[in-house]
């Protein structure tokens, strides 16, 4: 068997010596789900000067949770060759078609808050080596109102702080300093340690033109970190008229404030 055919066969059936990550999804489980209608778990605590997603004491009904066990990392540790870089290599999380980086703890575990509306949802978690786990579930609690407008910010660099700013048609400004607006819009968490995501969501968006900005807040002591911001805008989530748009913008230095998108909500 030549080398090319051998490599292709390994991708299909696996070969002796091939090492793959193990991905598990404990929440949400597949199937029908009758969860609590409460959405307050969407808002997470923030601890300065550095923040990561904090889900202690949060309801499983508002979490995506599981573990990415990287067998290759374990092998490097046993051999005394672990440089620590693997711990900051993000996995990928895809929620209802929205892809974003997903950081894991030292043991590979992760937990990410998400406000699920009623209806069908699909989730995939993909390890850095491509190993993936998928689940599909149906939120059967009719009182769980979908996010009719969701804006998701993520970025592709570690140790950097990007901030999401959303200005609604009634001139309310949601960002890390004012995370909840009087009109019902809210920012879930201010992530300052790299990759994100930060999520703005509202179940009843004010009609009119919205403006989405990204601020490159900082990169620690470094000044030469180029990072690419990704903004996903989802309107009428979970309905037959759902619309998704994804924008990617390179940011070159801390201090940049960039208007990424202006769009109309009818």
Quick: pLDDT tens for 130-139: 999 999 999 8
Return d(Cα 150, Cα 187) in angstroms, integer.
Answer: 10
CATH 2.60.40.10-classified regions of the chain: 18-144
| 19: number of Cβ within 10 Å | 11
Say yes or no to pLDDT of 152 above 80: yes
Which residues, 6+ apart, have CB-to-CB distance to 34 below 8 Å? 140, 141
| 176: number of Cβ within 10 Å | 20
Please report, for residues 184, 199, 218, the alpha-carbon distance to residue 158 in angstroms, rounded to integers and kept in the order given.
31, 18, 11
Mean pLDDT over 138-156 rounds to 87
Which residues, 6+ apart, have CB-to-CB distance to 216 below 8 Å? 160, 161, 162, 227, 229, 251, 252, 253, 254, 255, 256, 257, 258
Confirm if 184 and 242 have CB atoms less than 8 A apart.
no
Compare 65 and 146 and report the one with higher pLDDT: 65
- Fold annotation for 18-144: Immunoglobulin-like (2.60.40)
* Residues pairing with 218 in the sheet: 161
Place of tokens 């004491």: 57
Q: What angle do CA 66, 123, 75 make, to 5 degrees?
A: 40
* Secondary-structure class of domain 146-266 per CATH: mainly beta
**pTM given for the model:** 0.82
Compare 77 and 110 and report the one with higher pLDDT: 110
Nearest to 136 by CA among 107, 159, 116, 162: 116
3-state secondary structure (DSSP) of residue 78: helix
Place of tokens 């340690």: 193
CATH 2.60.120-classified regions of the chain: 146-266
Q: For the chain, what is the mean pLDDT?
A: 82
Say yes or no to pLDDT of 99 above 80: yes
């Amino acid at each position: 068997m030549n080398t090319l055919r051998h490599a292709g066969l390994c991708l299909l059936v696996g070969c002796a010596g091939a090492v793959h990550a193990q991905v598990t999804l404990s929440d949400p489980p597949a199937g029908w789900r009758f969860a609590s209608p409460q959405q307050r778990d969407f808002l997470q605590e923030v601890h300065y000067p550095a923040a990561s997603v904090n889900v202690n004491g949060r309801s499983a009904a508002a979490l995506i949770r599981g573990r990415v066990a990287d067998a290759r990392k374990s092998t490097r540790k046993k051999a005394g060759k672990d440089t620590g870089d693997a711990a900051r290599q993000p996995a990928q999380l895809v929620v209802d078609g929205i892809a974003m980086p997903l950081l894991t703890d030292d043991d590979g575990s992760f937990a990410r808050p998400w406000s699920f509306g009623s209806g069908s949802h699909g989730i995939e978690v993909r390890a850095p080596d491509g190993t993936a786990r998928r689940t599909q579930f149906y939120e059967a609690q009719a009182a769980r109102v979908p996010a009719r407008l969701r804006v998701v910010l993520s970025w592709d660099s570690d140790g950097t702080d990007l901030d999401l700013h959303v200005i609604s048609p009634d001139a309310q400004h949601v960002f890390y300093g004012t995370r909840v607006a009087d009109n019902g819009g809210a920012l879930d968490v201010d992530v300052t340690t790299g990759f994100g995501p930060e999520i703005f969501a509202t179940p009843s968006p004010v009609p009119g033109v919205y403006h989405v900005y990204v601020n490159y807040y900082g990169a620690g002591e470094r000044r030469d970190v180029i990072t690419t911001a990704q903004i996903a805008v989802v309107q009428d989530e979970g309905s037959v008229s759902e619309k998704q748009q994804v924008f990617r913008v390179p940011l070159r230095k801390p201090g940049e404030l960039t208007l990424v998108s202006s769009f109309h909500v009818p």
